Amino acid sequence: MKTKPRKRHVHIAPSVLAANFADLKHDITTAEKAGADLFHLDIMDGHFVPNISFGPAMVNTVRRLTSLPLDTHLMIENPDMYLEDFKKAGTTRLIVHVEVCRHLHRTVSEIRSLGMLPGVSLNPATPLSVLEEILPYVDSVLVMSVNPGFGGQKFIAASLDKILRVRTMLDSRGIEAHIEVDGGVEADNAAALVEAGADILIAGTSIFRAADIRRALSAIRANVSF
């Protein structure tokens, strides 16, 4: 039997990693006008993931181009060293990976006390059991649907079932946290992701590398407007 789509507002978060850095203003304003709800920024350190992207300066650049919320995704070792820097840069929601946080409760609490919303992210091979104790404290759970490090990778199909299980965990505990999905998100899989329980769709390549940013974003929106 097909799952009945849930009625919750779906947020579309274009991922800046895939934008044209030489004309960020164009890409950010075009995506905002096309109906983006927030922007996603991938911070990669060349240690936790095999790629280096950008740091707080880029978050601050985007902060000056839009007033939409900014989702900063830390794919770095020692995130605790940089929480304040990302707050100062203009982050709204700060997401850390459970795989690098030895004292996850402390990190999440610190993010909140700095005035940001805390999110936790899980690599594809990380089991959901790590969420058991931390769920009541987070604003979002980010399910990686590719191995983190690069844009433009193929969506890992098993992520759909993982999202469904996070949704069950949240609903059974009466917790209101968001479920974000990150990696290989496009118009063709958006509806299935929302049906599984995701409500924040992060999409880089399928939006910013499309021939027409506005049409690409609208195509995702059309498929999740039930």
Inter-residue contact 93 to 73 (CB < 8 Å) = no
Which one among 182, 186, 195, 199 touches Zn ion, defined by CB under 5 A?
182
Shortest reach from residue 151's CB to ligand DX5, in Å: 3
Q: Which is it for strands 117-122 and 140-144: parallel, antiparallel or unpaired?
A: parallel
Number of residues that bind Zn ion (CB under 5 A): 3
42 binds Zn ion (CB under 5 A): yes
Residue with tokens 């004309």: 23
Coil, helix or strand at residue 212: coil
195 binds Zn ion (CB under 5 A): no
73 binds Zn ion (CB under 5 A): yes
Letters for 109-138 (x = contact with Zn ion by CB under 5 A, - = none) are ------------------------------
Tokens read off for 217: 């974003």
The set of catalytic residues is 42, 182
Inter-residue contact 204 to 183 (CB < 8 Å) = no
Coil, helix or strand at residue 23: helix
Which one among 62, 183, 196, 197 touches ligand DX5, defined by CB under 6 A?
183
Which long-range contacts does 46-50 make (Cβ < 8 Å, 24+ apart)?
Answer: 47/76, 47/77, 48/75, 48/76, 48/77, 48/97, 48/99, 48/100, 48/148, 49/75, 49/148, 49/149, 50/149
* Segment interacting with ligand DX5, rule: CB under 6 A, options 2-10, 12-20, 109-117, 166-174: 12-20
Q: Looking only at residues 62 through 121 of this chain, which bind ligand DX5 when binding is defined by CB under 6 A?
A: 73
Positions touching ligand DX5 (CB under 6 A) are: 15, 17-18, 40, 42, 73, 146, 148-153, 182-185, 202-206
Positions touching Zn ion (CB under 5 A) are: 42, 73, 182
